[in-house]
Amino acid sequence: MRSRTASYFETDKARIEVIPMIDIMMFLLVFFIMITIDTIAGSGIQLDLPGSKTTQQLKDTQMTIGVQKDGATYVLGKKLTAEELGAKLKEAKSKGKVDVVIAGDKEVALQKLLDVMDVVRGEGINSVGIAASKQAAAAGTPDGAAPAK
How many domains, the chain? 2
Q: 20 lies in which domain range?
A: 4-36
Tens digit of each residue's pLDDT, the chain (149 residues): 555 555 555 566 777 788 888 888 898 888 777 666 555 555 555 665 666 666 666 565 578 888 888 888 888 888 999 899 999 999 888 888 888 888 888 888 888 888 988 998 888 888 888 777 776 554 444 444 444 44
Pair 13, 69 in one domain: no
CB atoms within 10 A of CB 80: 19
Pair 63, 125 in one domain: yes
Residue 128 lies in a domain: yes
The closest of 119, 40, 126 to 87, measured between CA atoms, is: 119
Residue 147 lies in a domain: no
Residue 46 lies in a domain: no
Pair 21, 72 in one domain: no
Pair 82, 30 in one domain: no
Pair 56, 31 in one domain: no
Pair 97, 128 in one domain: yes
Pair 57, 23 in one domain: no
Residue 146 lies in a domain: no
Pair 27, 61 in one domain: no
pTM of the model: 0.56
Pair 120, 80 in one domain: yes
3-state secondary structure of 61: coil
For residue 43, count CB atoms less than 10 angstroms from its CB and return exposed for 0-12, middle for 13-18, buried for 19 or more.
buried
